[in-house]
Amino acid sequence: MIDLYYWPTPNGHKISIGLEEMGLEYQIFPINISQDDQFQPDFLKISPNNKIPAIVDQNGPQGEAISVFESGAILQYLGRKTGLFYPTDEIKRVEVEQWLMWQMGGFGPMLGQNHHFSRFAPERIAYATERYLNETKRLYKVLDTQLMGQHYVAGEYSIADMAILPWILRHEWQQIDLEDYPNVKAYMQRLTARPAVQRALSIQINA
């Protein structure tokens, strides 16, 4: 059994998608970030950076419980645990890892800043809004180019796709028109048609 510490954000969705795709048994422990649950001492023992998601695998290595934080690290752990969606061939694994790190280091953080300055900042700062919108557009162009002629970002469906998709789903928050990125639009439609993705995205959490 895997304990998933979760809130329905793009980073939270990454792990619910991974768990559903890999067919792993899990239970959800909601961490309401709007009420600062992420700063509770018990949660900080699992996720010292006070961010969701995090997991505790009750049947980890050598049968011992193990906690993992950071969504990319969690996806890698689950991929190694199950042998699914994370190739063992080094060339294919590097391809997956570099696109996973692209998401972790750019596509997530930059789009997150776009969300903040476009929707949540107490005052509108034109420079910041424009800077993160332009970077968002650049990253979408990188992704659109990578998807040219292939269905998935690293060739075969992988944990990298699971990490990227939830951020695309907030494209309207990001002031992105997917008609400008036809390969990304088709990619989003392809991934959201997967039954496991649909199950993951349909999870309801009571605030």
- Statement to judge: residues 62 and 104 lie in one domain: no
Q: How many CB atoms lie within 10 A of CB 28?
A: 17
Residues 102, 25 within the same domain: no
Rounded to whole angstroms, the Cα distance separating 16 from 172 reads 22
Indicate if 108 and 149 belong to the same structural domain. yes
Name the domain boundary from 67, 85, 103.
Answer: 85
- Predicted TM-score of the model (pTM): 0.94
Tell whether omega for the bond before 48 is within 30 degrees of 0, i.e. cis. no
Asked whether residue 144 falls in the same domain as residue 59, the answer is no
Note whether 132 and 173 are within 8 A (CB). no
Domain count, the chain: 2
Tell whether 140 and 163 lie within a shared domain: yes
Structural domain ending residue among the three candidates 55, 85, 115? 85
Distances (CA, A) of 171 to 90, 115, 161: 33, 10, 16
Q: Which pair of tokens denotes residue 155? A: 């060739």
Terminal CA-CA length for the chain: 24
Do the domain assignments include residue 42? yes
Q: What is the pLDDT along the chain (207 residues), one digit of tens a residue?
A: 999 999 999 999 999 999 999 999 999 999 988 887 898 988 999 999 999 999 999 999 999 999 999 999 999 999 999 999 999 999 999 999 999 999 999 999 999 999 889 888 888 898 999 999 999 999 999 999 999 999 999 999 999 999 999 999 999 999 999 999 999 999 999 999 999 999 999 998 876
